[in-house]
Amino acid sequence: MTSSLFTPIDLAGVSFANRIVVSPMCQYSAEDGNANDWHIMHLGMLANSGASLVILEATAVEPAGRITPGDLGLYNDENEAALSRVMAAVRRYGTAKLGIQVSHAGRKASAQRPWEGGRSLPAGQGEWQTIAPSAIPFAEGWPAPRAFEAEDFKRVRDGFVATAERAARLGFDLMELHGAHGYLLHSFLSPLANTREDSYGGDFGGRTRFPLEVFDAVREVWPSDRPLGIRISASDWVDGGWTIEESIAFAKLLKARGCDFIDCSSGGVTLGIKIPTSPGYQVPFAARVRREAEIPTMAVGLIVEPKQAERIVAGGEADMVALARTVLDEPHWGWRAARELGGQVAFPPQYARAAPDLWPGHSFREDSSVMD
Does residue 370 surpass a pLDDT of 80? no
The answer to whether residue 2 sits within a structural domain is no
- State how far the Cα of 62 lies from the Cα of 220, in Å rounded to an integer: 20
What band does 367 get if pLDDT is binned at 50, 70 and 90? low
Does residue 368 surpass a pLDDT of 70? no
The answer to whether residue 277 sits within a structural domain is yes
Percent of the chain predicted with pLDDT > 70: 98
Among 340, 342, 334, smallest CA distance to 307 is for: 340
The answer to whether residue 106 sits within a structural domain is yes
The answer to whether residue 15 sits within a structural domain is yes
The answer to whether residue 294 sits within a structural domain is yes
Average pLDDT for 292-310: 97
How would you classify the pairing of strands 97-103 and 53-60? parallel
* CATH number of the domain bearing residue 280: 3.20.20.70
What pTM was computed for the model? 0.95
The answer to whether residue 150 sits within a structural domain is yes
What band does 366 get if pLDDT is binned at 50, 70 and 90? low
> Of 28, 75, 93, 183, which residue is the catalytic one?
183
183 counts as catalytic? yes
Q: Mind listing the pLDDT tens digit for each residue in 86-143?
A: 999 999 999 999 999 999 999 999 999 999 999 999 999 999 999 999 999 999 999 9
The answer to whether residue 1 sits within a structural domain is no
What pLDDT shows up at residue 372? 47
The domain total for the chain is 1
Range(s) of the domain holding residue 254: 9-371
Q: Cβ contacts of residue 196 below 8 Å, gap of 6+?
A: 133, 134, 147, 148, 202, 206
The answer to whether residue 3 sits within a structural domain is no
Q: Mind listing the pLDDT tens digit for each residue in 260-295?
A: 999 999 999 998 899 999 999 999 999 999 999 999
